[in-house]
Structure 1
């Protein structure tokens, strides 16, 4: 085990102990449930996204990563209290998955392979093949969260459709409609948006991130035109 791994293990052990003490001794922390924590998990993930996409400092990134880690530790602690599993089982399960799905690096027992890494395309194909073997009855869209933002869900859906052997362009009206005329209905707006997402996917771009950045830039420019001081959004 490397020195970095030893330090991380000791730090995580201390954090788990602190959270355990808070659950037992802090009235507010003691009342938390999976349901009451849900809003914080979503909020912390979006705050981390803002830091990753903005001109944030290293200290801010470290802090936001800690906030997301806190959510994982808290949810695992709640399950430990119910007697189902603890954080160790979460970590063990993730470790086993990383070994199992990265057969180009690891042998089944977790040892390292003595062969050069495959191409990115081969690595991705192997990952998805192993995942399909683990979930044989799953549809291409089964693991897409229902609460995912619409642009992100559209992009993931089209990527899965393409990987599943179809282009996606001939399905569900993904054939690119004309954007010259004003849309006459929500259905037409949806088709236009889906077509734009498809073009972004084909270009290897993230439409969800692109729109977030564009919205922030629009807000800054709008405030600048009105004379308000605003932070600079990175291009």
Structure 2
């Protein structure tokens, strides 16, 4: 796997795994040389074909745990019968349970590892609901994240104005209230 911005370094023979889109194949301007490249978007394919004589170059998003979480939820929904049966409504008891478990971990001053586990369970619920919405073309996880940033731009503009100093609580409260009122 290779980031597209490194395409200019590709020299020699190039092979593609079957799922690589034609548009990607056409976008690469391969120069003559002695190299041998295998380009794939499938991590499992890369694992199968690479040996000790090869170097793996990956796009950074493959090492992004948020992107991996979104991909994992997509696959769970695509391949799991139980996950396919779930709806926003049928997931409500799980969402409520996970939110309560996060609250309980905080109330009891649980170890960090326990709070992390409970937060990951709550994140699963957010990913699940976003995936269901994405399937019907409404919005995806990226849209949820974008909505968070948009809200923060309105309610906490100091985070985006280039400043880096401490913002006092009174200013924060005022800006938050003004931002909320403008929504």
TM range (shorter): 0.5 to 0.7
Report 1:66-215 matches (<5 A). Answer: 66-107=120-161, 112-113=162-163, 116-134=165-183
Extract unaligned runs of 5+ from structure 2: 1-59
Deviation at 1:28, TM superposition (A): 0.7
Moved over 4 A (4+): 6-9
- Which structure features the higher share of strand residues? 2
Change (3 A) 1:8 1:100: farther
- SS in structure 2 at match of 1:84: coil
The root-mean-square deviation of aligned C-alpha atoms, in Å, is: 2.1
- SS in structure 2 at match of 1:22: helix
TM-score, normalised with respect to structure 1: 0.49
Q: Answer 1 or 2: higher relative contact order, Cα 8 Å, separation at least 6.
A: 2
1: CA distance, partners of 2:182 / 2:140: 27
Tell me the number of residue pairs that the alignment of Structure 1 and Structure 2 aligns: 124
TM-score, normalised with respect to structure 2: 0.62
8 Å Cα contact 1:44-1:64 kept in structure 2:
yes
Deviation at 1:133, TM superposition (A): 1.6
Q: Which residue of 1 aligns with 2:81?
A: 27
2: CA distance, partners of 1:60 / 1:126: 34
